[in-house]
Structure 1
Amino acid sequence: MRIGALSQATGVDVDTIRFYEKSGLLPPPARSDNGYRAYTQTHLERLAFIRHCRALDMSLADVAVLLGSLDSRDPAELAQVDRLVASQLGKVRARLKSMQALEAQLVALQNRCDADHDAHPCRVLEELVAAAHGEACACHAETEAPKNP
C-alpha cells in the first residue's frame, strides 16, 4: 500500500509517518518500480502500535523502548516495559492531581459569580484583576497569590 492509504488506514498524518521512518520507529518500506514507498501489513500494525502508545501520552523515546522490547522479547527488556508503564502511570496520576487542584480553583472562582451583571460588576473579573495585582483571590490562598515585580 502507498503512504496515503497507510495514513488513511491508521489516522496518522503522512508527514508523521515519514518522521517515524526517519526516527527509526518505523522501518523503511521497500520501493516499487516507480519509486513509491510500498508499505505492508507489518508497517500498518507497527504504526497502529505507535499511535496507540502516543494516545497513552507516551514519549517517542518510550515508544522506541517498547518497540525494542516487542521486537526482542528479552525478559530483561520486558521488565523495563513494566517500569516504563509504572512511570507513565505516575505521571498521569500527578497530572490528575494537578488538574483536580485546577478544577477546585476554577470552581472557587466561578462561585464568586453573581449572574445579575446589570446590577453588579463581574466578580470573576474583579478576582482575576486582584490576582494580577498580587492580591489574594478566591481561587488562590493569600500565600499563593502572584507577587508584584
Structure 2
Amino acid sequence: MKRSLAGGATIQTSISRARAATARAAARHTADAGRSTVRDTVRRDRVALGWARLTGGDPCYFCAMLAGRGAVYIGKDSARGEDPYHDGCGCIPVPVFSRGGAWTGRSREYAPLWKDSTEGYSGRETIRAFRRAYEARRKA
C-alpha cells in the first residue's frame, strides 16, 4: 500500500491493489503445498524421471522460459533445485515417466523461442532477450 500511495494512487486504489496482491500471495502459498508434494513424490518414485512445468493458460515470460526447458530430471548429474513460482502463478509440476513426456501443455513451443531469441547472448541478457521475444509474440 505504501508504494501505491507513494506513486500517487488514491487510498481506495491502494487498498484494492493491496487486496489483490494479498490474494495472489495467499494463492501461491496454498498451491506451493501441492507443488512440493508432487516434487517430493517424484523424487521418491523409482519410475519417475522428473517433473515438468505445466503453465497456466497465459503464462508470464518467466514461466514460459522455465516450461520451455522441458523436464527437470532427477539423478546425480541433474538439476535438483526447486522450480520457483511467483504470486499469481498458475503453473504446476507434473510427473514425467518417459522422455517423450517431458513436454507438457505449450512448453514445446517455448523451447525454440528460447533458442532463437537468446543466440549470441549470455548471462542475464539471455533472459531479457527471451522476455522481449516472448512479449512481442504475445502481442502479435
TM-score of the pair, normalised by structure 1: 0.27
Higher relative CO (Cα under 8 Å, sequence separation at least 6) belongs to 2
- Which structure: greater helix fraction? 1
The structure that is strand-richer by fraction is: 2
Look at both structures and tell me which one has the larger radius of gyration over its CA atoms.
Answer: 1
